[in-house]
Structure 1
Amino acid sequence: MRKHLLLPLALFSAPLWAAGLEVTVEIPRLQVAEYHRPYVAIWLQNADQSHRANLAIWYDVKMKDKEGEKWLNDLRQWWRRSGRTLELPVDGVSGATRPVGSHSLSFDDSRAPLKDLPPGEYYLVVEAAREVGGREQLRIPFTWPADKPQQHNAQGNSELGALSLELTP
C-alpha cells in the first residue's frame, strides 16, 4: 500500500514546467538594391561581457567548401569572443540564414546551455551583419533564474528589428 502513496507524492513534488527562456528575433524587410540575408549570432554573456554560451549562429552553412564560414568574422563581437575558437558547424547551434520575419528559439534548464548556467546576471546578445549592408548588435540584461515570468525587449534600427526575451521560472 505504501508504494501506491509514493508515486502521487513524487509527481506533486516534481516541477511541472522547466525554467526557460524564449528569444524572438525579427529580421526586417529592407528596401535596398541588393539584398542578402544577414548572418546572425545569438549568445549569452556574463555580467563582465565575457562569452558564456552560443545559442544560435545563422549563416550559409551549405555553401561549397564551407565558403559561408569565410564571412562569419563580420559578426565582429561574437567572432572575437567565441567564433574564432569554434569548430564549425556547431551541432544544435549552427543553422541557415533566416528570411525576413520573426524567428523564435526556446531553451529550458533541462539541457545545455541553461542546464549548467549558474544563478547570476547575464546579457542576451544578438549581432547581425549583412553583405553589402551594415552590422548591428542588441543586448538585453537579465537575471537567471527568473523568480517570476518576465519579458524584456529591444529594438534594432537597421539590420535587426524587434528583439524579445521571455523568461519563465
Structure 2
Amino acid sequence: MLPRLFASALLSLLCVTASAHEYTLADLHIDHPWSRALPPNVPNGVAYFIVHNNGKDGDRLLAVSTPLAEKAELHAHVHIGEVMRMQQINSVGIPAGGEARFEPNGNHVMLFGLKKPLVAGERFPLTLQFEKAGKVEVDVAVQADAPVAGSEPQHH
C-alpha cells in the first residue's frame, strides 16, 4: 500500500511540475511564455511572458530568437500623440527585486515571417538573451485564447 501511495504522490508532483511552465536562469524566473493561435495565412505572431528578477542587481533582456520565424524582435506599444503604435526597442530592463511583463498592449516579442502557423496546443522554442544572466530557451505554449487574468502561475 505504501509503495503505491508513494508512486501516486510522485506522479502527482511530476504532473504539477510539468504544468507549471516556468523557467529559471540565475536570479531570473520566467513565467508562462505563451502566444495566441492564428489562422494559417497570418505571417506574423507575438509571444508574451513575465520575467521576475529575484536578485540584488538589475538585468536587461537584449535579444530574442526562434527557429519558428525569420526574425524575432522586442517591441513595445507607445503613444505617439493620440495614436498607439508598436515600436521596436533595443532592450527591456528587469529591475532588482522587480519584474518585466510582456503582455498584450505592452512589451511583447514580435515574430516576423512565421515558418508555420501558430496552432493551439503546440509549443515552440524561444531563446531569451539577457545582459548578465546569459541565454535561456523557453517553450512558448500556443493557446486558443489569452490566459485569464490571475490564471498565470504566481511567483513567490
TM band (smaller chain): 0.3 to 0.5
Q: Which has the larger radius of gyration?
A: 1
TM-score, with structure 2 as normaliser: 0.37
TM-score, with structure 1 as normaliser: 0.35
The structure carrying a bigger helix percent of its residues is 1
